[in-house]
Structure 1
Amino acid sequence: MELDFERCYRAVDSRDGRFDGWFFTAVTSTGIYCRPSCPAVTPKPENVRFHPTAAAAQRAGFRACRRCRPDAAPGSPEWDVRADVVGRAMRLIGDGVVDRDGVPGLAGRLGYTERHLHRMLTAELGAGPLALARAQRAQTARILIETTDLGLAEIAFAAGFGSVRQFNDTIREVFGSPPSALRRPKRGPAASEASEAPEPGAIHLRLAYRPPLHAESLLEFLALRAVPGVEEADATTYRRALRLPHGTATVELTPTPGYVAALLRLSDVRDLAPAVARCRRLLDLDADPVAVDAALAEDEALAPQVAKEAGVRVPRSVDSFEMAVRAIVGQQVSGAAARKVLSRLVPPGAQLFPSPEEVLALPDEAFRMPAARRATIRALAEAVAGGGLDLDPGADREEAVRGLTALPGIGSWTAGYVAMRGVGDPDAFLPTDLGVRRGAKALGLPDDPKALDAHAARWAPWRSYALIRLWRNA
């Protein structure tokens, strides 16, 4: 990744928080790396080095600033936008694939050799997959140290370290102090994502985002589509159960000015990193709303709404298979009817949406829908369970759409909806959707699908965000 020195330095000089997570500032005179908005004194240009990732700064021998907490910055929006191998790799590393399956597992998911993958990531990001995963483990460890009463040895293995010694060495290297020192009371700024008063059995976090965040649209969208027994949302908070690699969890997400307050209850603390990644993905917290809104506001039809509701995000999902089932069930039925049908797929008291294997085991009477739609859901479950269809965050988006439309009963609308909310494509568009066409007409845009699709080309690569705004105008 090429970083323009003058542009980066201007962002640091103005302490521009919009660039937090885009790059990291390393200062040779102090040996510390920071986020661009760090309130410390602006360093001299000759003492500054810029790195695309925290892992690259660590690899160059710098330790994290204890004041601005650069590891708590929002993630780079580039990894959500990019559909190439590097973007897919970063999404999978964020979901904990390296910690669970090692670099061979990551390389296998992406279809490259370990050596070639390491070469690509190092060239683009200044660090290979092991270093990138190590930086994430250090962040996870710090959160657990500050927010739980777990012993340090337990935290070491929960965060994914292979030994206590490796844990101690990494924390000293990254944060410039031993793990025990991180448990001392802090007077840190609100930028820290750790709660100051941890509760037994729960982990409180502050999930950073780039302002503005239009929280009302997120919560309204999720509340209207909440599946009874699995999730619920009101005007302030979204709650649901999560299926994670090592167990289950419940989460409560409450948007506030500056951060989203998250309350996590994990059955296995090893799942902290993937749980945080999925919550961030659900609320689209790594987006760059200023860039998105600026692009959409160039269209005179959208400009007034962008000015009125700045920072509208794309509500995504914590489980792509679940989202695909929801899309299939939601075809040509009302939202209320779809929620009722979906809730009947959830075993009483289960809270979790069924996995592909559990869906395949359900009897016919559990599917309160036409037989053809039931067959489509079973075909989807079989394809995902068998590995023939990848809908995970690191999936190839074009291949995912092709795989979905190859299944009986899945057309372009369903595949596009899953691409947007399940796989995370920021540039999906549904010109045939009735709500989208009504919203377009209300704004004076063409409501004929073909003409609307042609007009929407000017919104690339942010058509998913335009789609959400059209729905809000329907």
Structure 2
Amino acid sequence: MLRLPYRAPLCQDGLFGHLAATAVPGVEEWRAGAYRRTLRLPRGHGIVALRPRPEYINCRLTLTDLRDVSTAIARCRWLLDLDADPVAVDDLLHTDSVLAPLVDKVPGRRVPRTVDADEFAVRAVLGQQVPTTAARTRATRLVVAHGHPMSDPAGGLTHVFPDVATLATLDPATLAVPQARRTALFALIDALSRDEIDLSAGSDWRQVRAQLAELPGIGPWTVETIAMRALGDPNAFVSTDLGIRRAARDLGLPGTPSALAERAAAWRPWRAYAAQHLWATNDHAINRLPAGGKDCSCTEGTPP
């Protein structure tokens, strides 16, 4: 058991609530007060259980090769955005008269990220223009058919999400999604498998955005979602997201994507954190831990 420290404050409900609410069954789950998921690592595979505590995150790793422990820890810290500076973020957002009450109410919001950027990008495309329940169903089918099987005596995890090299070998016609989505998905998979697009944390964010936007069927929502949660750009902002636009209108902010993006310029370079505050104004499962520590790997539709 490891303890992952972080700089306080940290809003655990919004962070873990989002991960639990968007979990893909078999790959992720919320069980006994912990977010659990499978990992693909350089030398093997693993399972991590992350349990929020008042002053740290409990991290229990089960690895096929112990040489992967440092990589696994780094990915978990990245997933939970534990190296963020919440004081700097909140200080700037608090200067905005609309966001100030939200920051006062819940300081220390983090951006839920991912342990695998390629996996997240594939899931983002699967989630385009459909309810999250439908996107999760598509992702689950992909996992069951093509993921790497895992044994999990402690829970209900069954697979590691398939890597892009595996997905690149599939016949696109076998995927039960609309043709436009299929074209977008396999264009992305092809680019990732050929290393034409680099989604690693050290990549050029502007270049990646441009490369993604050139792919068929990849629009601003997908580009900024990937920038926010896969690339880790703290300034990414999904002005076209319906939940963001609804929250903006309710708060008296502009409701159109272009006007909202212009208004959000005042939140630079922390617009991704402003987005978390906007999403949190909605009464939704992503904003709270599962009630009573209930075990789950699926809930109602949510942002990606």
TM bucket, shorter chain? 0.7 to 0.9
Residue 257 of structure 1: CA displacement? Answer: 1.3
**Which TM-score applies when normalising by structure 2?**
0.86
Count residues in correspondence: 271
Q: Please, which of 323, 326, 347 is the counterpart of residue 123 of structure 2?
A: 326
Query: Does residue 291 of structure 2 align to residue 291 of structure 1?
Result: no
Residue 366 of structure 1: CA displacement? Answer: 4.8
- In structure 1, the residue matched to 2:267 is 459
Q: Could you tell me whether the CA contact under 8 Å between 1:252 and 1:263 is conserved in 2? A: yes
Unaligned stretches of 5+ in structure 2? Answer: 150-157, 283-304
Mapped partners of 1:269, 1:312: distance in 2: 32
Please give the per-residue CA displacement for 1:196-251, whole angstroms capped at 9, x wherever unaligned. xxxxxxxx110010001110001111122111111012683110000011110100
Residue 407 of structure 1: CA displacement? Answer: 1.1
- In structure 1, the residue matched to 2:36 is 239
**CA distance 1:268–1:221, change in 2 (3 Å):** same
What residue identity is the alignment partner of 1:213? L
Q: Which stretch of structure 1 is more off in the superposition, 265-274 or 349-358?
A: 349-358
- In structure 2, the residue matched to 1:394 is 202
- In structure 2, the residue matched to 1:372 is 180
Three-state SS of the structure 1 residue aligned to 2:159 is: coil
Mapped partners of 1:448, 1:378: distance in 2: 31
**CA distance 1:271–1:258, change in 2 (3 Å):** same
Q: Could you tell me whether the CA contact under 8 Å between 1:223 and 1:234 is conserved in 2? A: no
- In structure 1, the residue matched to 2:103 is 306
Q: Could you tell me whether the CA contact under 8 Å between 1:224 and 1:335 is conserved in 2? A: no
- In structure 2, the residue matched to 1:416 is 224
Mapped partners of 2:195, 2:168: distance in 1: 14
Mapped partners of 1:450, 1:283: distance in 2: 30
Q: Could you tell me whether the CA contact under 8 Å between 2:50 and 2:57 is conserved in 1? A: yes
Three-state SS of the structure 2 residue aligned to 1:345 is: helix
Mapped partners of 1:251, 1:328: distance in 2: 25
Three-state SS of the structure 1 residue aligned to 2:176 is: coil
Query: Does residue 47 of structure 2 align to residue 250 of structure 1?
Result: yes
What residue identity is the alignment partner of 2:250? A
Mapped partners of 1:260, 1:290: distance in 2: 19
Query: Does residue 279 of structure 2 align to residue 471 of structure 1?
Result: yes
Unaligned stretches of 5+ in structure 1? Answer: 1-203
Q: Could you tell me whether the CA contact under 8 Å between 1:344 and 1:367 is conserved in 2? A: no
Please give the per-residue CA displacement for 1:236-287, whole angstroms capped at 9, x wherever unaligned. 3110000011110100001111110000011111111111110000000000
- In structure 2, the residue matched to 1:270 is 67
Mapped partners of 1:235, 1:266: distance in 2: 20
Mapped partners of 1:246, 1:264: distance in 2: 15
Q: Could you tell me whether the CA contact under 8 Å between 2:220 and 2:240 is conserved in 1? A: no
Please give the per-residue CA displacement for 1:333-374, whole angstroms capped at 9, x wherever unaligned. 101111111100013545111100111223446522112211
- In structure 2, the residue matched to 1:135 is none
Mapped partners of 1:392, 1:411: distance in 2: 20
What residue identity is the alignment partner of 1:272? V
- In structure 2, the residue matched to 1:113 is none
Structure 2 matches for 1:112-127, cutoff 5 A?
Answer: none
Mapped partners of 2:30, 2:88: distance in 1: 28
- In structure 1, the residue matched to 2:286 is none
**CA distance 1:235–1:460, change in 2 (3 Å):** farther
Three-state SS of the structure 2 residue aligned to 1:254 is: strand
Residue 375 of structure 1: CA displacement? Answer: 2.0
Mapped partners of 1:397, 1:235: distance in 2: 37
Larger radius of gyration: 1
Residue 384 of structure 1: CA displacement? Answer: 1.1
Mapped partners of 2:50, 2:174: distance in 1: 31
Please give the per-residue CA displacement for 1:64-120, whole angstroms capped at 9, x wherever unaligned. xxxxxxxxxxxxxxxxxxxxxxxxxxxxxxxxxxxxxxxxxxxxxxxxxxxxxxxxx
Residue 324 of structure 1: CA displacement? Answer: 0.7
Mapped partners of 2:126, 2:210: distance in 1: 19
Three-state SS of the structure 1 residue aligned to 2:237 is: coil
Mapped partners of 1:341, 1:399: distance in 2: 29
- In structure 1, the residue matched to 2:10 is 213
Residue 379 of structure 1: CA displacement? Answer: 1.4
Three-state SS of the structure 2 residue aligned to 1:253 is: strand
What residue identity is the alignment partner of 1:442? D
RMSD: 1.4
Q: Please, which of 136, 153, 163 is the counterpart of residue 339 of structure 1?
A: 136
What residue identity is the alignment partner of 2:115? V
Identity %: 50
Three-state SS of the structure 1 residue aligned to 2:8 is: coil
What residue identity is the alignment partner of 1:432? T
